[in-house]
Amino acid sequence: MAGTLVDVAIEDCRDRMSRAVEHTKGEFAAIRTGRAAPGLVEKLKVEYYGAEVPLQQLAGFHVPEARVLVITPYDKSPAVLKAIEKALMSSDLGVMPSNDGSVVRLVFPVLTEERRKELVKVVHHKAEEGRVAVRNARRNARKELEGLERDGELSSDELERAERELDKLTHDQTAEIDRVLAHKEQELLHD
């Protein structure tokens, strides 16, 4: 019985940590490196007939050149094109969209050295938020396991073994965040 309770707590923690790492990766994808990429805009909310809809549900994306992103709406009505343009202009991309009546183009300028350094700081901040989320998941799992020990459903040896497993899991997940951070930092500084 105790083994299954520990397994459930650890599996729940593993799931929370994985979600935190995936969220961090998603945050990194939304930070531009000077190259055009659909990840920069696909989650952007667009006002579509009174509802906020992610751009990826309204359009396809194409990158014909390294710094050009072409957004092709499935519905080519002028109202939809204007709504997409408006969402892009109000985003923090800092790129002016151009609309030719059937597609919206974004041409990304080369990043300045100063802007690259600012983006590296942003990426480091987002990585730390991810690490904090991973540590919070570990802390919550530990509290749950300590509660099981207090209730007599878990021996101190089982608690110790579970805590070692949680520590290893935490280390592995934070190492993954650090690995992705190093890659994003290289991308930003040497693109």
Nearest to 189 by CA among 127, 112, 131, 133: 112
In this prediction, the residues of the chain whose per-residue pLDDT falls under 70 are: 1-3, 32, 34, 191
What pLDDT, in 10s, does the model give residues 103-144?
999 888 777 888 888 888 989 999 999 999 999 999 999 999
CA 6 – CA 19 distance, rounded (Å) = 20
CA 162 – CA 3 distance, rounded (Å) = 10
Query: Beta strands of the chain (E only): which ranges?
Result: 45-48, 51-54, 59-65, 68-73, 97-99, 104-107
pTM of the model: 0.71
CA distances from 171 to 89, 99, 117, 148 (A): 40, 47, 27, 24
pLDDT for 171: 96
pLDDT for 191: 61
Neighbouring CB atoms inside 10 A of 158's CB total: 17
Identify the three-state secondary structure at position 140: helix
pLDDT for 2: 55
CA 147 – CA 137 distance, rounded (Å) = 15
pLDDT for 3: 63
Q: Is the dihedral of CA 79, 82, 88, 90 positive or negative?
A: negative
Domains assigned to the chain: 2-29+112-189 (1.10.132.20), 38-107 (3.30.1360.40)
Contact assessment for residue 48 and residue 41, using Cβ atoms and an 8 Å cutoff: no
Q: Strand 59-65's sheet: what is its strand order? A: 59-65, 68-73, 104-107, 97-99
